[in-house]
A and B are shown apart, each in its own frame.
Chain A
Amino acid sequence: LKPAEYHAASRKLQEDRAHQESELHVAVLSSNSLEFLNPFLIVEAAERGLFISTFYSPYGQVEQVLLQADSFQVRQPDVIVVALRIEDQVADAFLRSRRRNGKSLQDIGEQCIERLMQCIEIIRRTSEAHILVANFSLPFEENNARLFDANYPGGCSHTIEKTNFDLATAVSELSGVAIWDYAGLVRENGSRDWTDQRLWQVARQGIATANRPQTAAHLVSTIDSLLKPRSKCLVLDLDNTLWGGVAGDDGLQGISLGDDHPGLAFKKFQRAVLSLADQGILLSICSKNDEDLVRRVIDSHPDMLIQWDDFLAAKVNWLPKSENLKAIAADLNIGLNSLVLFDDNPVEREEVRINAPAVDVIEVPSSPIDYANALFSSGRFDTPSLSHEDLQRSDYYRTETKRRNLGSTFASVDDFLASLQMTAAMGSASNETFGRIAHLLAKTNQYNLTTRRHSQARVATMTDSADWDVRWIRVADRYGDNGIVGITITNYDGTTARIDSLLMSCRVMNRHVEDAMMADIVNRARERRAERVIGEFVPTERNAVVADFYLARGFKEVQTSAGTGHCFEIDIVQLGHGIDWPDTIAIDGNET
Chain B
Amino acid sequence: MTDTGDRLNTIFASIFGDEASSLSASDGITTVAAWDSASQLDLIMAIEAEFEVYFEVAELSELTSVGAIRNRLLQLRD
Contact = CB atoms under 8 A, between A and B. Distances in A.
Given A201-B57, A202-B57, A36 B14 contact: no
Q: Which range holds the interface residue count of chain A?
A: 10 to 19
B4 interface: no
B13 interface: yes
Find the residue from A4, A196, A203, A210 having the highest chain B CB count within 10 A.
A4
Interface in A1-33: 2-5, 7-8, 11
A225 interface: no
Find the residue from A2, A7, A201 having the highest chain B CB count within 10 A.
A7
Contact of A202 (B17, B46, B49, B60): B60
Interface of B: 11, 13-15, 17, 37-39, 41-42, 45-46, 49-50, 55, 57, 60-61
Nearest to B12: A4
Contact of B50 (A4, A7, A36, A203): A4
A104 interface: no
Given A3-B49, A198-B60, A210-B49, A8 B41 contact: no
B42 A202 contact: no
A205 B45 CA distance: 13
B42 A7 contact: yes
Interface of A: 2-5, 7-8, 11, 36, 196-199, 201-203, 205, 209-210
Contact of B38 (A2, A8, A11, A203): A203
18 contacts: A2-B50, A3-B46, A4-B46, A7-B14, A7-B39, A8-B15, A36-B38, A36-B42, A198-B55, A198-B57, A199-B45, A202-B41, A202-B57, A203-B37, A203-B38, A203-B41, A209-B42, A209-B45
A5 B14 contact: yes
Nearest to A39: B42
A377 B53 CA distance: 33
B26 to A, nearest CB: 23
A198 B50 CA distance: 18
A209 B57 contact: no
Contact of B11 (A4, A197, A199): A4
A157 to B, nearest CB: 29
Contact of A4 (B15, B38, B55, B61): B15
B45 A3 contact: yes
Nearest to B55: A198
Contacts of B14: 4-5, 7-8
Nearest to A1: B14
A139 to B, nearest CB: 18
B42 A4 contact: yes
A39 B37 CA distance: 16
Given A4-B11, A5-B14, A205 B41 contact: yes
Contacts of A202: 41, 57, 60-61
A4 B41 contact: no
B23 to A, nearest CB: 16
Contacts of A205: 41
A203 to B, nearest CB: 6
